[in-house]
Amino acid sequence: MIQERDIDLIRTASHGDPFSVLGVHADERGYLWLRAFLPAAASVELLGAGGVALAALELRHANGFFECAFPVGAPADYRLKVRWADGNESVIDDPYRFPPVLGEMDVWLMGEGSHLRPYEVLGATQRVMEGVAGTSFCVWAPNASRVSVVGDFNVWDGRRHPMRLRRECGVWEIFIPGIATGTAYKYEIRAREGHVLPLKADPYALQSEMRPATASVVTRMPEVAIASPARQAANALDAPMSIYEVHLGSWRRKIDDENGDHGRFLTWDELADTLVPYTRDMGFTHLELMPVTEHPFDGSWGYQPIGMYSPTSRFGDAPGFRRFVDRCHAEGVGVLLDWVPAHFPTDTHGLANFDGTQLYEYADPREGFHQDWNTLIYNLGRTEVSNFLVANALYWLERYNVDGLRVDAVASMLYRDYSRKHGEWVPNVHGGRENLEAIAFLKRMNEVVGSERSQAVTLAEESTAFPAVSRPTYAGGLGFHYKWNMGWMHDTLSYMARDPLYRKHHHGEMTFGMVYAFNENFVLPISHDEVVHGKGSLLTKMPGDRWQKFANLRAYFGFMFGHPGKKLLFMGCEFGQEREWNHDQSLDWHLLGDRQHEGVQRLMHDLNRLYKATPALYQRDFTPDGFEWIEHNDADRSVLCFARHGNEPGSMVVVVCNFTPMVQHDYRVGVPRPGVYVERINTDSAHYGGSNVGAPFGEITADAIGWHGKAQSLALTLPPLATVFFEWKA
């Protein structure tokens, strides 16, 4: 007979090892006993093969604790027939008759924090055990005294499905028969001090409820996507990369009566039918999606995620996101995801104080609390936490077939004193400011991506001078493929915001980027951060009257596409959105009825077309031999001129920029080769809303007149506030 104390612990959901009590067990005399805890049950019968009744269970406690001697010859795959207090009856499989979920190798690898794919066993996994279909639930909570899975299937009662602790790795597990796709669930966790925590979402949940609901949802994991040689070629360092950065919730919305003026979110399939063709037709090579990991607060734009393995339910279910990515690839568009391993929000249903201790975050707030964002910082020195995130990176690349991850807030990870005053941070073991654990994590993440998904790329948003961010780890680098060039962005936008009258005093802001252009593999980012928080839109940053604002914007885009480095542009900038970006409403697509806005969009389309068709503009982005200054000292006339070179002999483009509103007549430019130069794009063309000043007939032949140290030169009429591309033709 069972001890009364064990019954009390089970019925109060306080037992730390429910599998030692429930199910079939032998007593000290060798007799087998079957025990079940079924609150609100009036009676329980043991059923054998074919549903034959074998025995009635005795009610040992009014709360619903039943037991009986297990009959000799009773099958191991028994079932229970339950008559409930309300008169209903049901036949159920006993979760406590099934063996452990985790295999010995999984336990070993999770214990040492080296499991490449823990998401295949942790979280909610639909499976068949001993011929019975259901879902296994596994959650890491090593300091909890008891963990239960709860949901509608057990009326959110933590007494009904307490889990088994695998002490070797701190994971609690249970297999519950009959749990199907679409079932909402959470974990009820009792801390080691005895108090019950707020219900927790599953850190490894593959789908989540639509906010403000916060439960996790059972769904099937996507199949592993086969690596594609075509995608590997499209993501190579010497391939063109023009990235369209998008916030899915505000790119475009569907207006309906229910959601008011701002409309509802588009679904994954609606986005596939609209956003993907638009991106393709505009000529962008890649989409970069601001975080699609589940997050509770719209105003965080996804940068405070809780469901790291869960595509946000704002646009539909998880399979819908896989269909969206597949559609992108079918249209020749790559997909990059913004990924946030730097911090997480303090919401009580998330990772904060997960098992009653600082499990995922640093315990010391000088290490674990981010003052700028009021978020918590991952304790990357803990192997299980680092493994959680490294595996997460691989999950999105393998299971959703995305092309790469843009890692957010890398600078905040690298430095322990990031945005902290003296005395507000803890030095590393050597007394320095570098976060050695974060550095090791980033290196390992990039190494795992490189070895397991070689077609994928990683990009770092890193705003400091930390060395070798985009260099291989074997050469002492962090292992990223690309780094955002924040310095280039700040300098050039500062220059463009100035009145042309004063630009000559700040000429270096446009040229300084070339001093360090080849220290890293740079992406030139004009991102969402430049059009929020009172900064205004890209168009409104430009000086002058309306015509000059548009001309400045077009000239800047031309300079950007001529400059070494891959390109990134935030949505709306491609047609000169006038108001600052608002995440709560759609872009102002109606502006395309205006000639100037339409002209900017045409220019971006043509720049992308020229860029992809002209190897000189991308093949040698990261080597000095791909760039050649022709004129960078003409500050008085605010003119820049440079050449870009491709791999093939004669692959060359000359780019000339005039950042004043004055037409520069008979402006001579030395060129590397004699012959004919064909005007490919003039941002002042009337086609784009400009004044149509430029080279006659679109071609000009080099004169045998030495200039700028060259044996030949071009005599040009430089249009006002414009960038002109000339491609060499033999």
- Whether the Cβ atoms of residue 174 and residue 95 lie closer than 8 Å to each other: yes
Number of continuous H segments (helices) and E segments (strands) in the chain: 15, 38
Measured in degrees and rounded to the nearest 5, phi and psi for residue 433 equal -95, -10
Q: How many residues does the chain have?
A: 730
- Facing residues of 208 across strands? 216
DSSP 496: H
- Facing residues of 378 across strands? 361
Could you tell me where the DSSP H helices lie in 189-259? 229-234, 248-251
C-alpha 378/C-alpha 386 separation (Å) is 8
C-alpha 692/C-alpha 162 separation (Å) is 75
C-alpha 539/C-alpha 574 separation (Å) is 10
Measured in degrees and rounded to the nearest 5, phi and psi for residue 676 equal -100, 135
Query: Locate tokens 């089970």: which residue?
Result: 10
- Whether the Cβ atoms of residue 724 and residue 561 lie closer than 8 Å to each other: no
Identify each DSSP E strand in 14-87 by its residue range: 23-26, 32-37, 41-47, 53-56, 58-61, 65-69, 79-84
- Facing residues of 679 across strands? 726
Would you name the residues annotated as active-site residues? 408, 461
Closest CA to 678 of 623, 636, 632, 724: 724
Angle between helices 595-613 and 268-282 (to 10 degrees): 80
CA-based R_g, the chain, Å: 31
Query: CA dist 312 to 297, 593, 727, Å?
Result: 11, 33, 45
- Whether the Cβ atoms of residue 147 and residue 189 lie closer than 8 Å to each other: yes
DSSP notation for 148-167:
EEEEGGGTT-TTT-B-EEET
Neighbouring C-beta atoms of residue 26, cutoff 10 Å: 10
Angle between helices 383-399 and 104-112 (to 10 degrees): 120
